[in-house]
Structure 1
Amino acid sequence: MNDNNPVYGSENIQIELFATPKGVKAIKNPVRVKILSMLREGDLSFDEIVKFSGRAKSTVSSHLKSMTREEIINSRIDPNDARKKIFFIQSEYIGKLQRQQLQEDISAYIKRYIASENDPFEFFRLIFHTIRISLLTQGVDIDPILHEAGLKVGEALYEKVKDPDMDKFLGNIANFWETHSLGSVEIKNFQPLTISVQDCFECSGLPYLGRPACAFDSGILESLFSKYNKEKIRVRETKCYALGDNSCRFVIE
């Protein structure tokens, strides 16, 4: 599991992980990371990759050929010009590795939960959060995996909470969250639809991370509202316990 190009920078280097038929590939070359970041936003032609990456054609061509051989990306003929190719990612994005310093020692976090009430649910929350923080301290970001899992859970959950009436649909979602101790849901706004979650299972109690941490919940909500609206819906988390807020907030766009 490696990228044969030299390592640039120090501990703060970003490494992108992709699952291919040949195994997991760790991409640490900054040029490749930039190209893959662009392709994750959408398919691009060779000329577009050169333009947006700011690299020479020969450099881009070399990296594209290597990543094609490794089955990370692939290409198809441009329907508007048979002499050109459109490049796209054909592997599965797993996540990224990036060293970061958390602002709270994990041992103190664990001790705080152990000292809390003897609640089995809190013990499972402890396990979930401890695994997640342990991975983060090693530089492993599992948000893409959690988001993908949330999408699948949302698809299965939709049949249980669906209702043609939007108010009832929202009420069913809130009831499910409450019943399963995922948090307390409150509708803050309808234009755009904004959902607030108090005591969020996924992130309340996490140390300050400096970014939203509810990738799993975001995935569930994205799937639920996409199925309800019969079109792709984006969910953006604007507040989070991991940002120092006193609740999580999701905007349905």
Structure 2
Amino acid sequence: MAQPYRFNWNDLGDLTEGRPHLGNSTSVQSYRLMQFTFKQVLCERFGREQTAELFRAAGLLAGREFCRNLLDTGLPPMDFIAALQQRLIDEGIGILRFEQTDLERLHFVLTVDEDLDCSGLPLMGETVCDYDEGFIAGVFEQYLGRPFEAVEIDCWATGGRTCRFEVRAMPL
């Protein structure tokens, strides 16, 4: 019997060899087409709450791997934040800003402008950045070595012009 798939960073492949003409980029529309069709199929099969939890779990794994493979976790906090901000811009994910930073309590409020998942969406009446919640929590978890929770409190899809997340360490 085949083993269940386990993500490995190397599974992302060699894009220089595999996409010599198209390179490492695609359109946001194509990315969202994949994301929102996955979301529909999963919602039909498992319901909205279970789908949101699956997207958060995938985002958590992605955030950990992103941090482990693309960021220097040995940097002091403010240098790490600057590197994270630049990397998110370089990758076309969004423009990250910290509105509140409490390193003692491990509590943060941050925004992501031009968010890959939702900026420009029509009003949908609910936040839609479940994957981002997991991704942000995963980055913080990998960097700080303990579980985090990120909750979207403002979203383009609810009328905000940015995505805003409250991020806090989970009790040990």
TM superposition score normalised by structure 2: 0.67
Equivalent-residue separation in structure 1 for 2:161 and 2:29 (angstroms): 22
Alignment CA distance shift 1:129-1:226 (3 Å): closer
* Count of residues paired in the alignment: 135
Residue identity matched to 2:67: Y
Structure that is richer in strand per residue:
1
Letter in 2 for 1:151: L
Paired letter, 1:195? L
Match of 1:171 among 73, 78, 82: 82
Identity of aligned residues (%): 19
2 CA distance for matches of 1:209 and 1:143? 15
CA offset at residue 243 of structure 1?
A: 1.2
Q: How far apart, in 2, do the equivalents of 1:226 and 1:122 lie?
A: 27
Provide Cα deviations, 1:166-209, integer angstroms capped at 9, x if missing partner.
11111122122111111111111113321111111111233323
Equivalent position of 1:153 in the other structure: 62
Cα contact 2:99–2:111 (8 A) shared by 1? yes
Q: The residue matched to 1:234 in structure 2 has which SS?
A: strand
Equivalent of 2:91 in 172, 177, 180: 180
Unaligned stretches of 5+ in structure 1? Answer: 1-118
Paired residue for 1:225, among 133, 140, 147? 140
Equivalences for residues 126-165 of structure 1 within 5 A: 126-128=32-34, 130-131=36-37, 134-135=40-41, 140-141=47-48, 142-159=51-68, 160-161=70-71, 162-165=73-76
The letter of the residue matching 1:238 is I
- The 1:215–1:186 alpha-carbon spacing in structure 2 relative to 1, beyond 3 Å, is same
Structure 2 CA distance for aligned equivalents of residues 136 and 149 of structure 1: 13
Q: Which ranges of 4 or more aligned residues in structure 1 deviate by more than 3 Å?
A: 132-140
Task: Name the aligned partner's letter for residue 164 of structure 1.
Answer: L
Distance 2:135 2:75 in 1: 18
TM-score normalised by structure 1 residue count? 0.47
Q: Aligned in 2, Cα 1:194/1:122: closer, same or farther, shift over 3 Å?
A: same
1:212 aligns with 2:127: yes
Q: Which has the higher relative contact order, 1 or 2, with Cα contacts under 8 A spaced 6 or more apart?
A: 2
Q: Give the direction of change, closer, same or farther, for the CA distance of 1:243–1:183 in structure 2 (3 Å limit).
A: same
Distance in 1 (alpha carbons) for counterparts of 2:53 and 2:65: 19
Deviation per CA, 1:99-136, whole angstroms, max 9, x where unpaired? xxxxxxxxxxxxxxxxxxxx951331441355157459
Change (3 A) 1:202 1:131: same
